[in-house]
Every structure is written in structure tokens, then in C-alpha cells.
Amino acid sequence: MLAGKRILLIVGGGIAAHKTLDLIRRLRERGAAVRCILTRAGAEFVTPLSLAALSGDKVYGELFSLTDEAEMGHIELSRAADLVVVAPATADLMAKMAGGRADDLASTALLATDKRVLIAPAMNLRMWQHPATQANLKTLTERGVLSVGPNEGDMACGEYGPGRMAEPDEIRAAIADFFGRAAPLSGRRALVTSGPTHEAIDPVRYIANRSSGRQGHAVAVALARLGAQTTLVTGPTALADPPGIEVVHVESAADMLAACTKALPVDVAVCAAAVSDWRVAAPRNSKIKKNGGAPPKLELATNPDILASLAAAGSARPRLVIGFAAETEKVVEHARAKLAAKGCDWILANDVAPGTGTFGGAENTLHLIDAAGVDSWPRLSKEAAAERLAARIAAALAAGQAEARPT
């Protein structure tokens, strides 16, 4: 549930702030990205360096920092997350949230966010039981703010009762539960192929292409973020494995087909890999020596067609099979022909001609082609294109499920 999720963690002032260090570790172990806002009071208990080291990201704290506003404005900071978590949520922070105050970065981000908020209250039991705090809690709950805890127990002030912040694993579980309920692909299985394949000529040479794998990896992350249990089968790339996703590394097209077949059954398969069409029919076992002679003649053989194989997988066929068509001319026309030839459900066509910057670049221009026609998308970052595709997949699977239900 947490793979690929983006958490904005607001650390309030209180002795319980030290628990947020363990919370960050638990979230990142499960594939979530964590960005922190540290209040001035919170900085009395934990340091920006500790939060940055565990989150792997910059820690924000000042509303009027020219550097921070230039790099990540407070509005963007408040909306770039999938969920905002306040831990510890002190009585003061809860009062600011209920009253709509915005006098520091934390309260401003909370007022400006358009995402759900989860609070983990922590305070003295008298403060927790005070009618003002309970009224603020009621107001926040009515506005849709989620909460976890507080627990009963001994407190730093020497008293016993409700007011202890929930334990890190309880907060982590509450976050996972939120995404489980909100994830449209929860319970679904997805298979994504990515990157190039390397077809051996001899032990040191191979046939390949210019695919970076960035689009395929982004699709895997986007599907996981919507709750899908995702397997990424990737050829050789320079990209890090996305956290929280099962990654299978392969070299050749034959290896990739074997890994995809092993991953079945799945609900959706997205073939974004740029698979080599041909391989050397008889790769050498030792390095081919030049020896001043003529270049060797390489006999090529056709590689297995992974997209067509998945589309024709019989009872194991995914409910939705999606391919990519990298073209240098007549992009939509050639992609339409590929859709008919492969037997898949959708084709995403993109122009990889020299000068487009698509192969190895950060952006893509896609045309989604299905039986209904062509939907041309604007030029987007590969991550944004992946999120758009994942949302469309979720809608299609939900519609298919609805049609299958008896009326």
C-alpha cells in the first residue's frame, strides 16, 4: 500500500517528536517517499539533520526562506504529497488547524493543502481532556481530518492517562489503511516491462537500443501508488529499483518473456520495454577477434514477441494488455497496425525520431490508441504521463468489474 506514496510529515513540538525518526524509517522501508516540515518547537527535540538523513530529502522549516520558496514553494509543498501527516500533533497545532491560522510554514501548508490530513495527537492528559482541545478535535474530524491515538500510558510529565502519541507502527498502519481504502487498484496485480534488452553477439558485445527505461519504471511506480501489487521486469538500465515494487532484472528478450510468463496471472500488463526485434542466431562463446580481417557476418533470428504472447495467453491473459509503439514516422498509423497485429487492448504510440528527446529524455508525447479511436495527450513529463495512464487503467478495470456484476 505504501509503495510510491508521497508523505508530507509535519513534526510538532513535544517529547514524542523522537518517535518520528522511527516512523520515517518504517515508511521508507515500505517504499514511501517522506518529506518533512519541522516546526520551531519540534526542532527543540529532533534536528533537521536527523530528519534529512532518514528521509533522504531536504527538511523545510521557514515560511519566509527565499531559498526554500524558490526550490519548493509552500503551496507546492502542501500539495505535492498524497497524504499529510502531523506527528506529534500538539494542542497548539490542532488549535491552529481548527482556527485556520497560518503564521508559520506548518500551519500555512496545512491550510493550503488539498490532500487528506492524518494527525497523531500527543500532549499532557489535562490538555487532551480540555474542552477546547476536544472541540478542536471535533471540528477537525467533521472536516475529514483523520486521527490515530492518543494512547494511554506514562507521560514525560509524570502523569498517567490518554495523551501518549501512537507508536510509529500504529501510525504506519493507519497510513497504509488510508491508502488501502483510497487506492482504486487495491487488490489488483500489475505487470510492467521496462528498458531495453541486450542480445549477445559474444561475451563482450550485444545488440541493444537507446531506451532508458524511465517511462516503464514511472508506469510501475504510478500503478503501485494506486494500490496495485506490481512486478517490474526490466532490461539493463541505469535506474534505481523503485522501492516497494518487485523488480526482476533480465538481459535478453527470451529472459523477459520467461519472467513475464512467470509473473502471470495479473489484471493488467503494460509492455513499455523496447525489446530488440532480432537477436544473433548463434552468439559466440568467446570474443570475436578482429585480426585485421573482414567484419564478421551475423545471422539474425527473430525474437519472441512478448506483447503478442501476453495478449494470446488464453485463460492466463491479463484483463488489460497494453503495448507501446516507438516510431520515427507515421506514428499513429503504424501504431494502429501494431494494435491489430498484436491483439492487445491499447497501444501507446510515441515519436522517438532524432530531435524529439524521447529516448533517454524526461518527457514524452503519447497517443493512446484503442478500439474507440485515438486520444492524443499533450507533452508531459514521463512521470505525469505514467500517472495519467495509471488513472485510465484504474477506471477501465473498475468499469469492467462493474459490467461483470449482476444487475
Cite the active site residues: 157
Residue 388 grid coordinates? 495519467
**Selection from 197, 188, 238 nearest residue 217 by Cα:** 238
Residues with Cβ within 8 Å of residue 127, at least 6 apart in sequence: 91, 133, 163
CB atoms within 10 A of CB 391: 14
Q: Please give the grid coordinates belonging to residue 78.
A: 502542501
C-alpha closest to that of 94 among 61, 135, 42, 55: 135
Question: Which of 207, 199, 259, 209 has its CA nearest to residue 233?
Answer: 259
Using only C-alpha atoms, what is the Rg of the chain?
Answer: 26
Say how many CA atoms lie within 13 Å of 20 toward its Cβ.
Answer: 36
The residue type found at 34 is V
Could you give the angle at the alpha carbon of 302 between the alpha carbons of 300 and 306, nearest 5°? 145
| Joined grid coordinates for residue 378 | 499533450
DSSP codes, 263-302: H---SEEEE--B--SEEESS--SSPPP-TTSPPPP--EEE
What are the grid coordinates assigned to 241, written together?
529499483
